[in-house]
Amino acid sequence: MTKPALVFSWEMFGPYHMDRLEAVGRRLGHLYDVVGLEVGSKSHTYAWDSTGGGQNFRKITLFPGQSKADLSKATVYRALLRECRKADARYVFLCHYEDADVFALATTLRLMGRKVINMNASKYDDKPRILWRELVKSVFYAPYQAGIGGSHRTVDYFRLLGLPKDRLFIGYDTLSLDRIRRLSGMDPAPGGVPFADRHFTIIARFVPKKNLFRAVEAYDLYRRLAGGAARPLHLCGSGPLESDLRAEVSKRGLDGHILFRGFLQEKGIAETLGSTLCLLLPSLEEQFGLVVNEALAMGVPTILSDQCGARDVLIRSGLNGHIVEPDNPEGLARYMLSVAGSEEEWRRLSLNGRPFQALADSDFFAESVERAVAALGGSKGDPKRAPATEREAQPSGQLSGSQG
For 50-83, what is each residue's pLDDT tens digit? 677 789 999 999 999 999 999 999 999 999 999 9
Residue 10, domain member (yes or no): yes
Statement to judge: residues 311 and 345 lie in one domain: yes
Q: Are residues 34 and 148 in the same domain?
A: yes
Residue 388 lies in a domain: no
Asked if residues 160 and 182 have their Cβ atoms less than 8 Å apart, the reply is no
In a domain, 391, yes or no: no
- Is-contact 372 167, C-beta < 8 A? yes
Residues 125 and 220 in one domain: no
Check residue 53 and give its pLDDT: 79
pLDDT at 378: 80
| Shared-domain flag, residues 30 and 88 | yes
Q: Are residues 161 and 252 in the same domain?
A: no
Torsion of CA 103, 106, 109, 114, to 10 degrees: -170
pTM recorded for the entire structure: 0.91
Q: In the prediction, which pLDDT does 54 show?
A: 85
> What is the rounded CA–CA span in Å between residue 246 and residue 236?
13
Angstrom distance (rounded) from CA 172 to CA 149: 5
Number of domains in the chain: 2
| Low-confidence residues of the chain: pLDDT under 70 | 1, 44-50, 380-404
The string of pLDDT tens digits covering residues 212-253 is: 999 999 999 999 999 989 999 999 999 999 999 999 999 999
* Full domain range(s) for residue 340: 181-357
Query: Which pLDDT belongs to residue 50?
Result: 60
The answer as to whether 395 is a domain residue is no
In-domain check, residue 189: yes
**Per-residue pLDDT, 402:** 35
Same domain, 214 and 69: no
Kindly state whether residues 246 and 324 are assigned to the same domain: yes
Domain identity same for 315 and 215: yes
202 and 351 share a domain? yes
Question: Do both 11 and 160 map to the same domain?
Answer: yes
Answer yes or no: do 48 and 118 share one domain.
yes
CATH of the domain at 130: 3.40.50.2000
Nearest CA among 85, 8, 111 for reference residue 368: 8
Say if residue 155 is in the same domain as residue 211. no
- Residue 267: its H or E element: helix 266-274
Report which DSSP code applies to 195: G
Whether residue 339 is contained in a domain is answered as: yes
pLDDT of residue 390: 42
Determine, yes or no, domain membership for 262. yes
Q: How far apart are CA 313 and CA 304, in angstroms?
A: 13
Instruction: Give a yes or no: residue 296 inside a domain.
Output: yes
